[in-house]
Amino acid sequence: MKSHDTALLMIDIQNDFCPGGALAVEGGDEVVAAVNSMQRDYDVLVLTQDWHPADHSSFAQNHQGAEPFSITTMPYGDQVLWPTHCVQGSHGAEFHRDLVIDRADLIIRKGFRSEIDSYSAFFENDRQTRTGLTGYLRDRGVKNVVLTGLATDFCVYYSAMDALKSGFKVKLITNACRAIDMDGSLASALDAMRAAGVEIA
């Protein structure tokens, strides 16, 4: 039986986050089958898509002498400098070819402003600029969100925490997520989500 007040959020299941991609998450493609099978259980289906311009400020190549995965300071705080990934219109920005996208009600594109990164499905990294997802879900009568996708310790984590702040109950499905796990970031993210009230399933 479908859940009418629960949304399935499918975070950034894109080529650049899957094996062979510019910012590959180990086993990233392994979430596709699980996510596809879950879609039948929900009335509200939302995809997110990293959608960066080539001059994006979070790309290491746009900072002279900077190495990928180093940290810089932006007006909104610390920012990891990433390898160039999910550039608008590129193959890397496309959804994984086996991901079912036709059932989705909404695709939220994030990170399209050059000057600010966006991990969360709800807010950009300044924690002020909204994506519009909260209002959409409220208008659809959604009270709960279920999170899947990539990567557990970055975009999924920030989406989960912001969903809580926005007043939704949140569940994370671990077998439908994969992590980057930089310096223990997966364990830290899971601990923080549990402590905040995310159900880990």
Distance CA 76, CA 11 (A): 23
Nearest in space to 21 (alpha carbons), one of 113, 81, 84: 84
Q: Does the annotation mark 155 as catalytic? A: yes
Distance CA 144, CA 183 (A): 31
Q: Which of 12, 16, 117, 153 is catalytic?
A: 12
Structure tokens, 29: 């493609």
Q: Which of 16, 18, 50, 110 is catalytic?
A: 110
- Detail the DSSP E strand segments found in 40-114: 42-50, 71-74, 77-80, 106-110
What are the backbone dihedrals phi and psi of residue 63, each rounded to the nearest 5 degrees, phi first? -125, 115
Q: Does the annotation mark 12 as catalytic? A: yes
Provide the 3-class DSSP secondary structure of residue 20: coil
Q: Which of 16, 29, 50, 155 is catalytic?
A: 155
Catalytic residues: 12, 110, 155
